[in-house]
């Protein structure tokens, strides 16, 4: 399943630095599909393929929780464009 992590970023340097560290420490079986920011750096969308939104939340918050407020959603892969199923 694909999980969307949509963040409002408070500290861009801290947030993206933390995610760079997190990328190298993904839980077994997880795959980082997308990481993108708005041009002003205040919003970010990450898509991670993993077993559950709760597992992604736990992992993501451990790294980036201090730098952003993030909401987590199961992605509707059946209606997505460009997302491998």
pLDDT, residue 21, reads 94
Of all helices (H) and strands (E), which one includes residue 69? strand 68-74
pLDDT, residue 17, reads 95
pTM: 0.90
pLDDT, residue 85, reads 63
Q: Could you tell me the sign of the dihedral formed by the alpha carbons of 34, 39, 42, 43, in that order?
A: negative
For the CA atoms of 63, 23, 48, 6, the dihedral, rounded to the nearest 10 degrees, stands at 40
pLDDT, residue 60, reads 94
> Tokens at residue 4, please?
């969307």
> In which residue ranges of the chain is pLDDT below 70?
85
Q: Does domain 2-77 have CATH number 3.90.76.10?
A: no
């Amino acid at each position: 399943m694909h999980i969307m992590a949509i963040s409002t970023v408070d500290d861009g340097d801290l947030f993206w630095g933390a995610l760079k560290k997190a990328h190298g420490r993904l839980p077994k079986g997880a795959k980082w599909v997308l990481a993108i920011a708005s041009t002003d750096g205040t919003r970010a969308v990450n898509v991670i393929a993993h077993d559950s939104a709760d597992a992604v939340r736990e992992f993501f918050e451990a790294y980036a929780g201090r730098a952003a407020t993030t909401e987590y959603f199961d992605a509707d892969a059946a209606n997505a464009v460009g997302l491998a199923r």
